[in-house]
Chain A
């Protein structure tokens, strides 16, 4: 019996074990019948750029999807580089899915503009809706959330990760009906004003499967103990404000409540921390795998005391208050550490305010054999340190280094940091994501193009000397999907010489570089399956053709130019002449 004569339902059953999108895509290319069978049984789609495909096309090809994940704005939107109104609207998708995916269960959005209208449409049209994740989204208010709460009878997860939510006073949380007992995960940490505590408490009490609860800053510490006692089964907790008057009864109440939470693996929140209250969590430290202290303004000694009690820690997000000494303690205690993110407490200060240097990162790279993901803000670095880190941790997958002052050289030799980053890409053969900083010449890009064969995402700022740099990356990095560049002297030649490469990538962002409008037009005309978008808030870019374009966003798409571009975005395609006249 050959594979092609296997009955459809057998094939479908086999395919159901294949979850990864990549593998599913490969399956669909085997033959026409496999394509057909596969598309009818695909249950989950991920669209990394919401403008790469139209909702209609997605629904037409995959009619039985239950879970959709979409991403909107380019990553640099996080740092205010994308003007308000650029796009990333989810409403057209929701309108299409209201009709096309009536049984949709999950919607995960990142960097998209979501309106109350969209949320209301979800609540009204999707009868089996269970999971809503809005990560770094904006454009909606608690009115929209009220609709979700009131009408999504089977809601399991509501996660507003770091979204910008308008918070007019209104008690949306109490719109969850008494019959709603299905919540498993609730993350409202980003909400600015207070929610009704009694509504929150009643919700927590009637949802026995609640595993994740991330509170917002407005929930006072005095009330946390009470909530914890109602939900001792929690696995992930985000505290509200972690400060209160120093009173022994509050402390003992809190410590007692925490000690009752035997399943707790993840802690976050800790806004406005009063260090005296930290020991209240000590009883759960031995089981913690994730600790997010990145908003906790506590100093190194307190951080050391805390971290030294968490031998099972796998993921730590912390401010640079931890200092080298804290990272040394981390390296000594947390042998299971996989991910470390150190954020700057004073990113805009001129002088270092903490004693955090390259040494801390070197120590962690030495002491933590499983370390694979790093985000590190610091003020000085050396090639030696980077080489050491690279040799210590060849299994590194994500390495994002931000030396706060642009173009800072090796502090020991005053050389560029080319050799250091070169060592990273040479030794870490599975590196998927890299962010560069410091003084860098074209040489670093030569190393990247030569060695970083698995690299998927590269972020570059204030680096390089000529188009050669960009050319190395575009011609050498075989797995490159996302490239984002700001303030680099890259111009037309490398871009045009590697035009075909751009179709193999999700997107390219270039701002404050040296790309001419003519080159953009040429690219747009030659590459019909790319959208070449020029962003310029001061006027039509062809009115000043001698100036380089300010911001350029190029992405592959099967649907042509988008129809929701604001006035400051120009798509320079084949009819660009018509568009601009």
Chain B
């Protein structure tokens, strides 16, 4: 194998510790140290927090690279979670994604029942990133159930009474949940992360049955803002 064009002339290691001589023999100049921080656009491992103030309810990863959410209203950042916009070097530190995912959150299992269905399901809310994903998953589990349209913001617009009343008067099923205070609320009234933290269990009921919840839910919502 002829490698004339790539032949290296090397001094023996240890003899003549002059790096300059060795470098000269190699006809090399030391290359600048590889930068250990790469551009924001190239990093793939970023813990995205969904910002429901933004237009999309489902996350398009590329979009978020170019337009990072500007008002990040996500509350109660757990200090153990990486900050949302810190650029991370891909591949470093060498921690497996399996491990990263497992450590990132503790599970949030909640029971889900649906009126008329003879079985309960349990779901880990932490495995979903948005109301839409939850909706899709529930639709698969309870095949006669669709959660209806969550609108562009991924949340029910509680301030629009007539829209809400339409939804509740339809024969569609509506998901409700019991929160930490023991109150039954309509799913979709708070930002996703807050919902995951406060939801203890879910019940999918007919819209007409959920009407009784709506005024309470709206009051609670109003008192929060």
Which positions in A face B, CB cutoff 8 Å?
A: 76, 78-81, 136, 162, 164, 168-169, 190, 192-194, 217-218, 241, 271-272, 294-295, 297, 343-349, 353, 377, 402, 404, 406-407, 435, 442, 446, 449-450, 459, 461-462, 465-468, 471-472, 486-489, 491-494, 496-497, 499-500, 511-514, 522, 526
Chain B, 50-102, CB within 8 A of any chain A CB:
80, 82, 86, 88-100, 102
Query: What are some 5 contacts across the A-B interface (CB < 8 A)?
Result: A295-B102, A345-B103, A348-B82, A487-B89, A526-B3
In-complex Cβ contact of B90 among A81, A346, A348 (8 A): A81
Which residues of chain A come closer than 8 Å to B36, judged between CB atoms? 406-407, 462, 487
Q: Are A402 and B98 in contact, with the CB atoms below 8 A?
A: no
B91 cross-chain contacts in A, Cβ below 8 A: 76, 79-81, 461, 486, 511
Enumerate the 5 nearest inter-chain pairs by beta-carbon distance, A residue then B residue, closest first: A496-B6, A489-B31, A348-B82, A79-B91, A406-B36
Which A-chain residue is minimally distant from B141 (CB atoms)?
A169
Which residues between 80 and 134 of chain B lie within 8 Å of chain A, taking CB atoms? 80, 82, 86, 88-100, 102-103, 106-107, 109, 121-124, 127
Name which residue of chain B comes closest to A445, CB basis: B13
| B92 x A79 contact (CB < 8 A) | yes
Specify which chain B residues have a CB less than 8 angstroms from the CB of A344 in the assembled complex: 93, 95
Contacts of A190 in B (CB 8 A): 98
Report chain B residues within 8 Å CB of A353. Answer: 80
In the assembled complex, the Cα of A471 lies from the Cα of B9 at a distance in Å of 11
Interface centre among B19, B22, B103 (most CB of A within 10 A): B103
B102 touching A497, Cβ below 8 Å? no
Give the distance to chain B from A147, nearest Cβ to Cβ, in Å.
Answer: 20
User: Is the pair B123, A404 in contact by a Cβ cutoff of 8 Å?
Assistant: no
Residues of A within 8 A of B99 (CB): 294-295, 343
**Chain B residues closer than 8 Å to A407, beta-carbon distance:** 33, 36
Check B10 for interface membership: any CB of A closer than 8 A: yes
The verdict on B28 contacting chain A, using a C-beta distance below 8 Å, is yes
Say yes or no: A272 contacts B13, CB within 8 Å: no
Of chain B, the residue at the smallest CB distance from A514 is B31
> Are A80 and B6 in contact, CB atoms less than 8 angstroms apart?
no
With the chains together, A345 CA to B102 CA distance in Å? Answer: 11
Contact indicator per residue, chain B 203-221, by CB within 8 Å of chain A (1) or not (0): 0000000000000000000
B interface, by DSSP: helix, strand, loop or mixed? Answer: loop
Interchain CB contact (< 8 A) of B98 among A162, A217, A467: A162
CB distance from A353 to the nearest CB of B (A): 8
B30 with A295: CB separation less than 8 A: no
CB distance from A224 to the nearest CB of B (A): 15
> Which of chain B's residues have a CB closer than 8 A to the CB of A404?
93
Interface size class, chain B:
35 or more
Complex interface: chain B residues within 8 A of A497 (CB) = 3, 6-8
Q: How many A-B residue pairs have CB under 8 A?
A: 148
Which chain B positions have C-beta within 8 A of A462? 33-34, 36, 92
Cross-chain contact A78 with B94 (CB below 8 angstroms): yes
Q: Tell me, in angstroms, the Cα distance from A497 to B5 when the chains sit together.
A: 10
List, in ascending order, chain A residues with CB within 8 A of B26's CB.
466-468, 493
Query: Which residues of A have CB within 8 Å of B82?
Result: 348-349
Q: Using known A-B contacts A493-B26, A526-B1, determine if residue A79 contacts B96 with beta carbons closer than 8 Å.
A: yes
Query: What is the bound-complex CA distance between A194 and B92, given in angstroms?
Result: 32
Task: Flag if B98 contacts A377 (CB, 8 Å).
Answer: no
What residues of chain B have their CB less than 8 Å away from a CB belonging to chain A?
A: 1, 3, 6-8, 10, 13-14, 19, 22-23, 26, 28, 30-34, 36, 38, 44-45, 80, 82, 86, 88-100, 102-103, 106-107, 109, 121-124, 127, 140-141
Given contacts A218-B122, A346-B80, A349-B82, contact A465 B92 (CB under 8 A): no
Q: Which residues of B contact A449 (CB under 8 A)?
A: 13
Complex interface: chain B residues within 8 A of A272 (CB):
106-107
B19 neighbours in A (Cβ, 8 Å) = 442
- Cα–Cα, bound, A435→B95 (Å): 13
- B217 CB → nearest A CB, Å: 28
Closest to B8 in A: A497
Partner of B97, one of A78, A467, A514: A78
Q: Is the CB of A493 within 8 A of B124?
A: no
A544: min CB distance to chain B, Å: 15
Contact at A80–B45, with CB atoms within 8 Å? Answer: yes
Closest residue of A by beta carbon distance from B6: A496
CB B137 to nearest CB in A, in angstroms, measures 8
Check A169 against B140 for contact (C-beta < 8 Å).
Answer: yes
**Structural contact, A79 and B80, CB atoms closer than 8 A:** no
A487 contacts across to B, CB distance below 8 A:
34, 36, 89, 92
Additional 10 contacts, C-beta under 8 A, given A486-B91, A497-B3: A79-B95, A218-B124, A343-B95, A343-B99, A406-B36, A450-B14, A461-B91, A465-B30, A468-B26, A511-B91
User: What is the CB-to-nearest-CB distance from B95 to chain A, in angstroms, rounded to a whole number?
Assistant: 5
Q: Which residue of A377, A468, A486 has the most chain B CB atoms within 10 A of its CB atom?
A: A468
> Given the complex of chains A and B, what is the CA–CA distance between A472 and B107 in angstroms?
48
> Within 8 Å CB of A467, what residues of B?
26, 28
The smallest beta-carbon distance between B187 and chain A, in angstroms, is: 19
CB closest chain-B residue, reference A498: B8
Contacts A449-B13, A465-B30: A402 and B106 contacting too (C-beta < 8 A)? no
* Alpha-carbon distance between A462 and B36 when the two chains are bound, in angstroms: 7
| Pick from A81, A192, A471: contact of B8, CB under 8 Å | A471
Partner of A496, one of B3, B92, B98: B3
Inter-chain contacts of A169 with B (CB < 8 A):
121, 140-141
